[in-house]
Amino acid sequence: MARKICLLFVLFFSFTVLHALAARIPLVQASQPQASFGENSTEFIWARCGATRYPSLCYRSLAGYSFAVQQSPIQLARFATNLTLARVASLSAHVASLRRTCGTAKSASACPEAGALRDCADSLGDAVDLARRTAGELCGLEAEAAGSAAAVWRVSNAQTWMSAALTNEDTCVDGFEEVAPESRAKADVCRRVWRGLSLDIQFT
C-alpha cells in the first residue's frame, strides 16, 4: 500500500515539472500568472491535479497555496516538493525520538523494534536529504531557459532524488514487516506514514 501511495507523489511531481519544461516561455517567467490558461489559480491547481492518479488528494494538499502558486507549474512543483520535505522531516524527527526511547530499554526484549527503528531512522534521514536536494534543484530551475540542457539536467536530478526519497520512506515501513503486529511503535510509524500520504482519502 505504501508503494502505491508514494507513486502518487512521484507521478504528480513528474507531471508538473515536465509541463513547465514543455511550455514555450522562458522558465524564469513561469512564476507569473499566465492569462492563456483562462482559469484562476485554484482552477489551475485542480486542472493539474486532474492528471494525477488521485486528484482529490493532490488538490486538497495544494489548494491552500493557490495565491503563491498562481498559474506557475514550477511553483506548483516546488510547493509539492516542500510539502513532502516538511512531512518527511517531521516523521524523521519522530522516529529518531522513538529510537532514543528504545535505546534506554534495559534489555533487547524490552524493545524488539530496535533494529527496525534504527533502519527506519537511517532511511528517513536519507529521504530528508534527498527531498532537500530536490527543493534546491527546483529553486534554480526558474533561471534556466525552457528546454535547455541545463533545465533538462535539473529536472532529471530532481525527479531522481524525489523518487529515491519516497522509496526510502517506503523502505522504512517495509522494515517493520518482521515486527509483531501488536507493537505500538510499528503501528505508530506506519500510521503516520500512511496518514501523511493519504490525508483521509480512501484508496482502492
- Residue spans of the domains in the chain: they are 2-198
What is the spatial distance between Cα 100 and Cα 118, in angstroms, rounded to a whole number?
10
What whole-number distance in Å separates Cα of residue 204 and Cα of residue 128? 28
Fill in the amino acid letter for 18.
Answer: L
Residue 20 to residue 27: CA distance in whole angstroms: 7
**Max avg pLDDT among 47-61, 65-79, 96-110:** 65-79
| The pLDDT of residue 148 is above 70 | yes
Contact between 96 and 49 (Cβ < 8 Å): no
- CATH assignment of 2-198, among 1.10.3720.10, 1.20.140.40, 3.40.50.620, 3.40.50.2000: 1.20.140.40
Residue with cell 533487547: 108
pLDDT at 129: 95
Residue 31 is given by DSSP the state: T
- The reported pTM is 0.76
- Whole-number percent of the chain with pLDDT over 70: 73
CB neighbourhood size of 63 (10 A): 14
Question: In the predicted model, what is the mean pLDDT of residues 183-201?
Answer: 73
